[in-house]
């Protein structure tokens, strides 16, 4: 037993395995505007690709060649539109806010969905390089822009600001902030309830952004660690277990988590905005 | 692996932190596991009793799943913060 432990410790000692390096973001093109750091790094490049892919995908699927006898492409587009409309928007937004906020919620869903999916396609966008035939080539790696708290926090902030703007626009300042307090609360409890409600508004911001961020981070980490087990134990025998395990995690992430997280982010955004437009009392 | 390294080198604070991190995230996973099991169990029961409601229930099911699952990640994130900062 002790011999085995020593062997493991030795194996771990000799190899440098740092899966977290995948999430380092050194600046590739340094841009500083006053106190703002607008440098281009890996996450920014992934965001560009994601934004471009979202626009191209949505234009391709819905914007031309529509007919009364729909092609397969048009059927898929209509099914996606219908899914967003019936599952996300109509269940959570009041009818008078649907026309204003349907585009936002649908874009949010498609943008996050495609960003997440791109995160599981190995792309030659990486900080490390290797030499092949005398050429310096970036190593192929998986990285998701949504596995970065800044990206998800920015998206959550848009929802957060939109929520309160809509609440105030539809109910007035007084009416909106009064609606935060549950009906029928005795006056003596107000000093306890008001801070709680204010905190819960900010907790939404944290939970919305951290949920997406941590899900994607944990998914990528799991795949990297599974494959990294081979290098930690520096033995190919581990690959018999590690590779199938990594593939299983990969399939779970691509088949379920990617879509669910985009769906939940869009649905919660719609619920928050809908709740502000039409408070329950 | 860092647990074994720390044990071998006698680095007790690091060892303790690694164990605390593991146990903390594990306990978080227990709670979320029970919750997710409850959600899918109730979903199966509901669909078995009223199959025609499946479409409406699916959205609620996935929302509940994601809200519950996120609890593990709060534990993971809190644990990581404690591990890195303390």
Using one digit for the tens of pLDDT, what is the confidence trace for B10-45?
A: 677 778 888 888 899 999 999 999 999 999 999 999
- For A127-158, how does the pLDDT look when each residue is reduced to its tens digit (9 = 90+)? 777 777 777 778 788 888 898 889 999 999 99
Task: Please name the member of A6, A12, A215 whose beta carbon is closest to the beta carbon of B73.
Answer: A215
Of A160, A151, A156, A159, nearest to A48 (Cα)? A151
| Chosen from A89, A149, A264, A268 to mutate, greatest number of chain B CBs within 10 A | A264
| Chain A closest-CA separation from residue B26 CA (Å) | 14
> A40 has which bridge partners?
A29
| Chain A closest-CA separation from residue B66 CA (Å) | 7
User: Residue A244 has what pLDDT?
Assistant: 92
| Chain B closest-CA separation from residue A17 CA (Å) | 10
Task: Please name the member of B1, B58, B74 whose beta carbon is closest to the beta carbon of A232.
Answer: B1
Give, in order, the Cα–Cα distances in Å from A31 to each of A35, A50, B3: 11, 21, 41
| Chain B closest-CA separation from residue A264 CA (Å) | 6
**Cβ neighbours of A218 in B, within 8 Å:** 73, 76
Tracing tokens 């951290």 back to the chain, one arrives at A210
- For A195-209, how does the pLDDT look when each residue is reduced to its tens digit (9 = 90+)? 888 898 898 898 899
Interface touch B76/A232, C-beta < 8 Å: no
Interface touch A214/B70, C-beta < 8 Å: yes
Interface touch B5/A211, C-beta < 8 Å: no
**Cβ neighbours of A9 in B, within 8 Å:** 4-5, 8
Q: Which residues neighbour B70 within 8 Å (Cβ) at sequence distance 6 or greater?
A: A207, A210, A211, A214, A215
Helix (H) / strand (E) element for A98: namely: helix A95-118
Tracing tokens 């593990």 back to the chain, one arrives at B72
Mean per-residue pLDDT over chain A, rounded? 85
Interface touch B59/A91, C-beta < 8 Å: yes
For the purposes of burial, counting CB atoms within 10 Å of the CB of A162, is it exposed (0-12), middle (13-18) or buried (19 or more)? middle
A14 — pLDDT class (breaks 50, 70, 90) = very low
Query: Rounded to an integer, what distance in angstroms lies between the CA atom of residue A247 and that of residue A257?
Result: 14
What is the pLDDT averaged over residues A88-104?
A: 89
- For A235-258, how does the pLDDT look when each residue is reduced to its tens digit (9 = 90+)? 788 888 889 999 999 999 999 889
Interface touch A264/B67, C-beta < 8 Å: yes
Q: Is A234 on the interface with B (CB under 8 A)?
A: no
Q: Are A228 and A78 in contact (CB under 8 A)?
A: no
Q: What spatial distance separates the first Cα and last Cα of chain B, rounded to whole Å?
A: 20
B46 — pLDDT class (breaks 50, 70, 90) = very high
What is the pLDDT averaged over residues B52-76?
A: 87
The pair of structure tokens assigned to A122 is 């190995």
- State which residue of chain A sits closest to B75, comparing Cα positions: A214
What is the pLDDT averaged over residues A22-38?
A: 79
Q: What pTM was computed for the model?
A: 0.84
Residue A13 has pLDDT above 80, yes or no: no
For the purposes of burial, counting CB atoms within 10 Å of the CB of A243, is it exposed (0-12), middle (13-18) or buried (19 or more)? middle
Task: Please name the member of B8, B62, B74 whose beta carbon is closest to the beta carbon of A260.
Answer: B62
A109 — pLDDT class (breaks 50, 70, 90) = very high
| Chain B closest-CA separation from residue A260 CA (Å) | 7
> A33 has which bridge partners?
A36
CB pairs under 8 A between A and B: 50
Domain ranges of chain A: 2-277
| Chain B closest-CA separation from residue A136 CA (Å) | 33
Interface touch B70/A260, C-beta < 8 Å: no
């Amino acid at each position: 037993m002790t011999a085995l432990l020593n062997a493991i410790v030795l194996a771990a000692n000799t190899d440098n395995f740092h899966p977290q390096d995948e999430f380092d973001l050194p600046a590739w093109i340094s841009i500083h505007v006053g106190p703002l750091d607008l440098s281009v790094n890996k996450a920014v490049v992934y965001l560009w690709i994601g934004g471009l892919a979202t626009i191209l995908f949505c234009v391709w699927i819905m914007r031309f060649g529509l007919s009364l006898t729909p092609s397969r492409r048009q059927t898929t587009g209509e099914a996606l539109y219908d899914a967003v409309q019936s599952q996300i928007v109509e269940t959570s937004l009041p009818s008078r806010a649907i026309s204003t906020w349907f585009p936002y919620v649908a874009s949010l869903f498609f943008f996050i969905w495609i960003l997440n999916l791109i995160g599981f396609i190995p792309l030659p966008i990486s900080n490390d390089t290797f030499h092949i035939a005398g050429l310096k080539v970036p190593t192929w790696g998986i990285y998701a822009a949504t596995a970065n708290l800044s990206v998800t926090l920015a998206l959550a902030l848009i929802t957060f600001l939109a929520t309160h703007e809509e609440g105030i626009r539809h109910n007035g300042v007084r009416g909106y902030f009064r609606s935060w307090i549950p009906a029928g609360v005795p006056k003596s409890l107000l000093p306890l309830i008001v801070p709680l409600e204010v905190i819960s508004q900010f907790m939404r911001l944290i939970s919305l952004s951290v949920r997406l961020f941590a899900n994607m981070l944990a998914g990528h980490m799991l795949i990297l660690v599974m494959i990294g087990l081979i290098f930690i134990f520096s033995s190919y025998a581990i690959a018999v277990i590690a590779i199938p395990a990594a593939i299983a995690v990969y399939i779970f992430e691509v088949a379920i988590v990617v879509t669910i997280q985009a769906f939940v982010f869009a649905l919660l955004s719609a619920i928050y905005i809908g709740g502000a437009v039409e408070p329950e009392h | 692996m860092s647990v074994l390294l720390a044990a071998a080198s006698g680095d007790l604070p690091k060892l303790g932190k690694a164990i605390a991190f593991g146990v903390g995230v594990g306990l978080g996973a227990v709670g979320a596991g029970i919750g997710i099991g409850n959600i899918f169990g109730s979903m199966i029961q509901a669909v078995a009793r009223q199959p025609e409601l499946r479409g409406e229930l699916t959205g609620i099911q996935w929302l509940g799943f994601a809200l519950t699952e996120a609890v593990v990640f709060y534990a993971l994130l809190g644990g990581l913060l404690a591990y890195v900062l303390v």
